[in-house]
Amino acid sequence: MTKKANTKPSLKLTHDGALLALHAALKKSEELGVPQNITVVDEGGNLLAFLRMDGAKVLSIRTSQKKAISAASIRQPTGQFKPELELKMAIATEGALTNLEGGFPIIIDGTCVGAIGVGSGTGAQDCEVARAALAALGAQAL
């Protein structure tokens, strides 16, 4: 008889990994000339690192955080839901989830270890900055 395992090993994003992602996003933001709010969370959506660049929009602090939490929760990039589901998602989660572009899960070896959320530029700029962070970590591109 085979014994069923009650636990399994898992990958964790370290604070060094979170800082690596943050610095890569910062560098890309500076290259674009677009000050950003950058949030890195663990797989459960808990804050690991945050930076508000000089000149980044204050209200985008919250959107960058919600983008990261949303991407960690759904294990998919934000901005991919049908528009008619956005309000329902926001209501059902008491505003915790967003469909704004700029949130990406950090997937290493098929495991979600966290997420990054970027906000203060256009959706395309936010995504470009987030993807630079993923590349620095060697994360799966989505």
Band (pLDDT 50/70/90 cuts) for residue 8 is confident
Query: pLDDT tens-digit profile of 29-62?
Result: 999 999 999 999 999 999 999 999 999 999 999 9
Domain spans of the chain?
15-137
Q: Quick check: 135 pLDDT over 80?
A: yes
Band (pLDDT 50/70/90 cuts) for residue 100 is very high
Alpha-carbon torsion angle 42, 65, 18, 101, nearest 10: 100
**Encoding tokens for residue 132?**
């630079």
- d(Cα 101, Cα 62) in Å, to the nearest integer? 14
Band (pLDDT 50/70/90 cuts) for residue 5 is confident
Q: Residue 9 in 3-state DSSP?
A: coil
Question: What is the third-level CATH fold of 15-137?
Answer: Beta-Lactamase (3.30.450)
Q: Find how far residue 136's CA is from the centre of its chain.
A: 14
Of 17, 69, 78, nearest to 47 (Cα)? 69
